Structure 1
Amino acid sequence: MFESDLPESNLSDADLINDLQSHGMRLVDPRVGHEARRGGAGPSDHKAITIGETTVMVPVHTAPAFESPFLVEPPDAKGQSRVTRDGAEIAKVRFPTKPKFYDLTTADGVPYSQIATLHSRDVLATTVLQTCIRYESRKKTCQFCAIGQSLAAGRTIAHKTPAQLAEVAKAAVELDGVKHMVLTTGTPKGRDRGAAVMVESARAIKAAVDLPLQGQCEPPDDDIWHQRMKDAGIDALGMHLEAVTQEVRERIMPGKATVPLEKYMSSFEAAVKVFGRAQVSTYILAGLGDTREAILEMGQKLCDMGVYPFVVPFVPISGTPLESHPAPKPEFMASILRPLGEMIVRAGIRSEDIKAGCGKCGACSALSTYEKLKVSA
Structure 2
Amino acid sequence: MVKKKVSPIKSYKLKSGETRYEFPAYLGVDPLTGKQKRTLKRGFKTHKEAELALARIKLDVANGTYQQERAETYQEVYDLWVKQYEKTVEESTYVKTTGLFKNHILPAMGTYKIEKIHVDVCQQHVDEWAAKLKNYRMVKAYAAKVLDFAIKRSYILTNPFAHVDLPTNTSKKAKRADEDKVENFYTREQLIEFLSCLERESNHKAYVLFRLLAFSGMRRGEALALTWNDLNFTTNELRINKALSLGKDNRQYVKLPKTDLPRTIKMDDKTMDVLKEWKKKQKLDYLVLGFNTMQPKQLVFSNEQNKHMQLTKVRKWIVQVQNKYKLGKITTHGLRHTHCSLLFEAGASLKEVQDRLGHSDVKTTMNIYAHVTKKAKEEAILKFASYIEM
Which structure carries more helix by proportion? 2
Q: Larger relative CO (CA 8 A, sep 6+): 1 or 2?
A: 1
Decide which structure has the larger Cα Rg and report it.
Answer: 2
TM-score (ref. length: structure 2): 0.23
Which structure carries more strand by proportion? 1
TM-score (ref. length: structure 1): 0.24
